[in-house]
Amino acid sequence: MISVEGITKYYGEKCALDNVSFKVDKGETVGLLGPNAAGKTTTMRILTGYFPPTSGTATVAGHVLPDESLEVRRKIGYLPELVPLYTDMSVVEFLFFAGEAKGIPKCDLQNRVDSVIDDCNLNEYVYKQIKTLSKGYKQRVGLAQAIINSPEVLILDEPTVGMDPNQVMEIRGIIKKLGEKSTIVLSSHILEEVAKTCGRVIIMNRGKVLAIDTPENLSKQIETSDRIFFELMGDKEKAFNLIKSHKGINKCEYSKRDILEEGCFAIEAYAEKSPELRSSLLRSLLDNDVSVCQMALEKLTLEEIFTQVIAKGGVEGEEKKAKEVNVESEKEEENKKDDKDEKEEVFEKSEESEESKEKKKKAKKSKTKNK
């Protein structure tokens, strides 16, 4: 549904995107993550035909950008970070305007307006001027205009910005529902939001793609050891020393998180990846009269994955791909250089040949004159 190949974008001399490539399959919801100035918004603007890349191509809903920009725009919905709204219009007026601008037939327009008003829970605000709405409700109006044409692809840049927790949960439900019919690419600084909404994530920094995968697979690639959480009751120091000294434990520390059971204490341990180790550790605690209220193997959160990928500059798989791309580009440059050298050599030989012919002509004329 979306295929990005070698996209590079320069603003003057500043490189905003550097050879970015990724694919999004039909029906997927993919999160675009990265710190400020990572290239997320630039990527989205290129995918929507807002402006062309400096080099590279993108295919969206079967149409190639930048050559088929108008065809792409007919098949997508776009919610930019700063929503462009005509604030003097009422909500319903603006949605009719947006529907007409997107070419929805008049016979279908009323139904589409009613549908997006229901989807975005705007029924109480239909006839209110947009300028009187809160930031969160203005965001809803922006989302409503993005989906009014039933788009095949939906591009959402910070869709929940300015919303309270209840509104965020509602929008999350809307996005999940839309994901049943549309392919969605969204960016957000709320990593928990992405984790609960998206099947895969694309992590970017400084214009480059550092990682593409599910949070679960990225966690497996990044984690070098298991993280085990214990909620225990009994001799605190004894329990800590038992865990710390157990074979295969790399690190052990008291946890600062809230304890559910009164009288318990919490410990986090980082251990070698082994089910047998966890089993023997549990037996050791129980044999030494330490009550185990809870013992859980914990995965990295998306926030921890994001932080580690940015710090490391990528994961092994993406680094390998980047190297392969660089090798290919170097080969192409060498081939171009060889072709150029060959052409120059042929040109030089042809010049020499012409020069030789001229000399022969002059020599022939000179002999004729002498005779």
pLDDT digits (tens, 9 = 90+) for 132-159: 998 888 989 999 999 999 999 999 998 8
Q: Which pLDDT value is given to residue 363?
A: 58
User: Looking at per-residue confidence, does 3 or 313 come out higher?
Assistant: 3
**pLDDT over threshold 80, residue 127:** yes
Band of residue 238 on the pLDDT scale cut at 50, 70, 90: very high
Task: Report the 3 state secondary structure along the chain.
Answer: CEEEEEEEEEECCEEEEEEEEEEECCCCEEEEECCCCCCHHHHHHHHCCCCCCCEEEEEECCEEECCCHHHHHHHEEEECCCCCCCCCCEHHHHHHHHHHHCCCCHHHHHHHHHHHHHHCCCHHHCCCEHHHCCHHHHHHHHHHHHHCCCCCEEEEECCCCCCCHHHHHHHHHHHHHHCCCCEEEEECCCHHHHHHHCCEEEEEECCEEEEEECHHHHHHHHCCCEEEEEEEECCHHHHHHHHHHCCCEEEEEECCCCCCCCCCEEEEEEECCCHHHHHHHHHHHHHCCCEEEEEEEECCCHHHHHHHHHHHCCCHHHHHHHHHHHHHHHHHHHHHHHHHHHHHHHHHHHHHHHHHHHHHHHHHHHHHHHC
pLDDT for position 327: 43
Task: Read off the pLDDT of residues 153-201 as tens digits, 9 standing for 90 and up.
Answer: 999 998 887 778 888 888 888 888 888 888 999 998 778 778 888 999 9
